[in-house]
Chains A and B, each alone.
Chain A
């Protein structure tokens, strides 16, 4: 049974335009997010261009196994999120709910992996302070970027997981219909958080491996 009527909101004449409206709003937000992360990327690039050797030495100490597992987890979550959106558009309720649940689970798995990685980093005392174990001193800059970049990314992902879970519950209780425009915004945001990680990974985990 289609619940298109409940999905359509004022003032949209049809669902297609409503979805486009949500997509447009989310892309505007993401364009500003690009500049937010861009500020971090440009700072990283400037400091790295002046401290190439220090960044190489510091980069050898990131936990590449955790980083690699996390990349695969996020890429796979983007697959399930895309299928969730397609299923929602086709009003396949069960598949939408299942894919959303898997996406959130993959997101949580990422955070658990990240937590384990942070524990290893802390054990090795890899955070900038007077007892920092590596030299030259500029290696601390790399680790400053590591904590800020991965921390902000984790905050974004946590927000994404929370949104996915809330939407999942609202769909399940039939508060909002799956075929509406909600999934459009959720999916685009999720993929953005994934794509930020695709830049962070080479900057933080692949530096200094050769």
Chain B
């Protein structure tokens, strides 16, 4: 909605104000919910780091980080509404990252010396 100059007709002003309130609610609601979810997940990750889970600590922390990134990319970076070509490009980054990890660890984890 565009910015309007104040009108001489009060009923129109009231209508615009309520329209703007509705629009402000629409603007903030979705992102604020995602933000809240991110903060809660972050708190869980932080809290779990102090539990004696052994190797489970880093696994839990990275899993939660992955969920947070999926939320951020899907809703805040709006990949949910992106075109197929944009999703493919975003997926390509992840695809080659997986290759980098799997090829590197294919070597290191299979060494017996």
A-B contact pairs, 13 of them (CB 8 A): A31-B89, A31-B92, A31-B96, A34-B97, A41-B101, A42-B100, A71-B42, A72-B42, A86-B27, A92-B1, A206-B61, A209-B49, A210-B51
Whether B31 contacts A79 by the Cβ 8 Å rule is yes
B108 at the interface (CB under 8 A from A): yes
| Residue in A closest to B24 when the chains form the complex, CB atoms | A95
List B residues 35-56 near A (Cβ within 8 Å): 35, 38-39, 42, 45-46, 49-53
Chain A residues lying within 8 Å of B61, measured Cβ to Cβ, are 202, 206
Number of interface residues of A (CB under 8 A): 53
List B residues 58-95 near A (Cβ within 8 Å): 58, 61-62, 64-65, 68-69, 72-73, 76-77, 82-83, 85-86, 89-90, 92-94
Cα distance A68–B43 in the bound complex, in angstroms: 9
Number of interface residues of B (CB under 8 A): 50
| Residue in A closest to B64 when the chains form the complex, CB atoms | A202
Whether A24 contacts B93 by the Cβ 8 Å rule is no
Whether B77 contacts A35 by the Cβ 8 Å rule is no
B8 at the interface (CB under 8 A from A): no
A209 → chain B, closest Cβ, in Å? 4
Chain B residues lying within 8 Å of A105, measured Cβ to Cβ, are none
Chain A residues lying within 8 Å of B72, measured Cβ to Cβ, are 78, 191, 194-195, 198
Whether B93 contacts A34 by the Cβ 8 Å rule is yes
B28 at the interface (CB under 8 A from A): yes
Main secondary structure of the interface of A (DSSP, over half): helix
Chain B residues lying within 8 Å of A33, measured Cβ to Cβ, are 93
Cα distance A30–B109 in the bound complex, in angstroms: 29
| Residue in A closest to B108 when the chains form the complex, CB atoms | A46
B104 at the interface (CB under 8 A from A): yes
Contact among B50, B85, B100 with A209 in the assembled complex (CB-CB below 8 Å): B50
Chain B residues lying within 8 Å of A187, measured Cβ to Cβ, are 77
B15 at the interface (CB under 8 A from A): no
Whether A92 contacts B3 by the Cβ 8 Å rule is yes
With A90-B1, A191-B76 as known contacts, state yes or no: A24 contacts B100, CB within 8 Å.
no
Whether B68 contacts A79 by the Cβ 8 Å rule is no
A5 at the interface (CB under 8 A from B): no
